[in-house]
Amino acid sequence: MDKLIHGRRSIRKYTQEPPPEEWIKKMILAAMRAPSPTHSQPVRFIRILSPALKEELHEAMRRGRENLLQAIAHAASANRLKNWVKAYFRYSEFMFHAPVLFAVGTTATFVSLSERLFRAGMREQGHKKHRDVDIAVGLALKGYLLKGEELGLGSCILTAPLIFIEDPETIFPLKGVEIKCFVTTGYPDEEPDYIKRKDFDEIYREL
């Protein structure tokens, strides 16, 4: 387990050889074993195979980038913001060349206690509305990534595309699924350097 956790890297360059379908299934099954609120299992993996759908998604990202660049043209620190927007877009495009591409989302069927309290008029709706299912997504992805690491596959989680596409759900012929991120997978064609993590004492507290 330590070897898998410490050896895992985010992979953005892949060989063109597609991974065995059985391996992808094993990674999804590992994700399914993750805990979720009230065992609701709200996480969904939508594999994007259609070239037309990929192109539509890519075009939506390009439009979103141009809209952002126009919107920040006269903002404070406009040049710096433009550079950030261009960099985030540039480092997201690799996903369209990955052997395996998933959109990962959650269903609308799970209703948390905080949401029930809001509907009853007892709580204000705030930014923490979706934290239950967001945690479930992270836990599921951890299982997916580590199983891939065990099999010799690399993966990368992307949320940057959602900066450019405000409503990705309108692109997919699905109902009741909210897209939270994208995930690429394949045989690694790079060996990223180790990224130093924070020291133990920086993240651990006793009260």
- Is the separation of the CB atoms in 19 and 185 below 8 Å? yes
Per-residue model confidence (pLDDT) at position 74: 82
Per-residue model confidence (pLDDT) at position 116: 78
Instruction: Give the C-alpha separation, 133 to 176, whole Å.
Output: 14
List helix spans (H) across the chain: 2-7, 21-32, 51-71, 78-90, 113-119, 131-151, 161-164, 200-203
Question: Within a domain: residue 119?
Answer: yes
Q: Is 31 exposed, middle or buried (0-12, 13-18, 19+ CB in 10 A)?
A: buried
Per-residue model confidence (pLDDT) at position 110: 66
- The answer on pLDDT for 11 being more than 70 is yes
Report the DSSP beta bridge partners of residue 102: 47, 183
How many helices (H) and strands (E) would you count in the chain? 8, 4
Question: Within a domain: residue 51?
Answer: yes
Domain that holds residue 6: 2-188
Instruction: Note the pLDDT tens digit of each residue in 41-100.
Output: 999 999 999 999 999 999 999 999 999 999 998 888 889 999 999 999 999 999 999 999
Which residue type occupies 28? I
Question: Within a domain: residue 71?
Answer: yes
Question: Within a domain: residue 200?
Answer: no
pLDDT (mean) for 118-137 = 74
- Split at pLDDT 50, 70, 90, the class of 128 is low
Instruction: Note the pLDDT tens digit of each residue in 145-165.
Output: 999 999 999 999 999 999 999
Question: Within a domain: residue 207?
Answer: no
Per-residue model confidence (pLDDT) at position 164: 95
Report the DSSP beta bridge partners of residue 179: 105
- Is the separation of the CB atoms in 162 and 134 below 8 Å? no
Tokens 């660049």 -> residue: 69
Q: What is the mean pLDDT of the chain?
A: 91
E strand or H helix at 180: strand 177-186
Per 3-state DSSP, the chain is made up of helix, strand and coil in percentages (nearest 5) of 50, 15, 35
Which residue type occupies 9? R
Write the DSSP symbol of residue 174. -
% of the chain residues with pLDDT over 70: 96
User: How many domains are contained in the chain?
Assistant: 1
Question: Within a domain: residue 47?
Answer: yes
Question: Within a domain: residue 55?
Answer: yes
Q: Strand 43-47's sheet: what is its strand order? A: 43-47, 100-107, 177-186, 154-158
CATH code, domain with 47: 3.40.109.10
Greater confidence (184 vs 115) lies with: 184
- The answer on pLDDT for 3 being more than 90 is yes
Per-residue model confidence (pLDDT) at position 199: 95
Per-residue model confidence (pLDDT) at position 122: 82
Question: Within a domain: residue 205?
Answer: no
Instruction: Note the pLDDT tens digit of each residue in 22-47.
Output: 999 999 999 999 999 888 899 999 99
Per-residue model confidence (pLDDT) at position 125: 61
% of the chain residues with pLDDT over 90: 72
- Is the separation of the CB atoms in 68 and 164 below 8 Å? yes
